[in-house]
Amino acid sequence: MKRLARILGCLLLGALWPRAAIAAPAFKTENVVVIVTDGLRWQDVFRGAETALVSDKPGGVEDVTATKAAFWRETAKDRREVLLPFLWTTVARQGQIYGNVDAGSRAQVTNGYKFSYPGYNEIITGAGDPRIDKNEFGENPNVSVFEWLNDMPEFHEHVAVVGGWDVFPAIFNRARSHLPMRAGWETPFPGKATPRQELLNTLYRTATREFPDMPWDALLQQTLLDYVATYKPRVLFVGYGETDEWAHNGRYDLVLQSAHNVDGFIRELWAAMQAMPQYKDKTTFIITTDHGRGDGPENWKHHDWNEEGAEDMWIAVLGPDTPAQGERSNASRVTQSQIAATVARLLGKDWQGFNPKAAAPLSEAIGAGR
């Protein structure tokens, strides 16, 4: 009866939202993945490893020689490419990337707080909310584009969240949205598990926890790959966390290593999905961060409402509807709040019709004029 009631509710919601579908040329995209690597600075994305921070002080680097060998190159172009090879050899060549302040391209948060919960809320709803002023805010009162899509018959039970931070259940309001979710240190496969899934359950249970609120990104990645292979979601949110945690811990070497790892994880996910008929050439990735950070020998570790520069972030888009314009320069400012409407527009839906406060889609990233 509960399942029948939910299906009837989905049909009713469709009737109540007449502007959900938009009359526009059909996109090739049938699946959208939003990927966030927490707190990764635009400076590192576009400039690569920062000279002054590849050091014992102020960078907290344990092995300066090894870190330089891995990530230092003479030019910013070479440094960023060795740090994030998939982003720069595939995403930036076949898609678009915004946020290089040095090149006159700005991507910014608009919520004013410049830390995680407000940032994630802005990403998934399309607007900042002044009420959400701390990470311990609790259940999100705002409906996300993911919840909204999941309540439509064509997407119902094909929307999911796989993220490291244990606050994601509150951010996506799991109790209300009923979104399938793998978050924090929760056992990733609590039901009947395959041998591989049971191994992951064991690793989640027995791994030493450097961060009490999130698992290692490497564990999350294996959970993610298994989830995609098993359930094949059409709309997916992915949240990696180590890039933020190591910056707060003052370990620039591990910021670089974790960023490099995430780049590899994204490449692996892209390859896995492109190998599946339901995803191949029909999937768009939107890759971003939830906030920026400060600059200089101390402030690179921090972000908050009063941290100058922490409003600057970056957004990359790769998919069949994204013109291959690469790194944007001297471009109009884009915002974190545009991501939610972009997800909906790619799937033929009008998020602003449901949430008038939301920002418009990233029109140039999904084909100007569509």
What pLDDT, on a 0 to 100 scale, did the predictor assign at position 370?
A: 43
Q: What span, in angstroms and rounded, lies between the C-alpha atoms of 303 and 27?
A: 37
SS3 content of the chain, % helix, strand, coil (to 5): 40, 10, 45
What pLDDT, on a 0 to 100 scale, did the predictor assign at position 217?
A: 98
All domains of the chain in start order, with CATH: 2-21+28-366 (3.40.720.10)
What pLDDT, on a 0 to 100 scale, did the predictor assign at position 24?
A: 52
What pLDDT, on a 0 to 100 scale, did the predictor assign at position 7?
A: 45
What pLDDT, on a 0 to 100 scale, did the predictor assign at position 367?
A: 84
Examine residue 25 and say whether the peptide bond preceding it is cis (omega within 30 degrees of 0).
no
Q: Which of 126, 132, 188, 176 is nearest to 150 (CA)?
A: 176
pTM of the entire predicted model: 0.93
What pLDDT, on a 0 to 100 scale, did the predictor assign at position 331?
A: 87
Asked if 129 and 118 touch (Cβ cutoff 8 Å), the reply is yes
What pLDDT, on a 0 to 100 scale, did the predictor assign at position 26?
A: 81
Q: What span, in angstroms and rounded, lies between the C-alpha atoms of 341 and 349?
A: 8
What pLDDT, on a 0 to 100 scale, did the predictor assign at position 229?
A: 97
What pLDDT, on a 0 to 100 scale, did the predictor assign at position 22?
A: 58
What burial letters (b/e) apply to 319-337, b meaning 16+ CB within 10 Å?
bbbbeeeebbeebeebbbb
204 CB contacts (<8 Å, ≥6 apart)? Answer: 185, 186, 187, 188, 215, 219
Percent pLDDT > 90 in the chain is 91
Q: What is the DSSP letter of 64?
A: H
Structure tokens at 327: 């790194």
pLDDT in tens, 280-327: 999 999 999 999 999 999 999 999 999 999 999 999 999 999 999 999
Q: What span, in angstroms and rounded, lies between the C-alpha atoms of 122 and 125?
A: 5
The dihedrals phi and psi of 180, each to the nearest 5 degrees, come to: -60, 135
Q: What span, in angstroms and rounded, lies between the C-alpha atoms of 76 and 289?
A: 20
Parts of the chain with a pLDDT under 50:
1-5, 7-18, 23, 369-370
What pLDDT, on a 0 to 100 scale, did the predictor assign at position 20?
A: 62
- Torsion (CA) 247, 253, 256, 261 in degrees, nearest 10: -100
What pLDDT, on a 0 to 100 scale, did the predictor assign at position 8?
A: 47
Q: What span, in angstroms and rounded, lies between the C-alpha atoms of 72 and 165?
A: 30
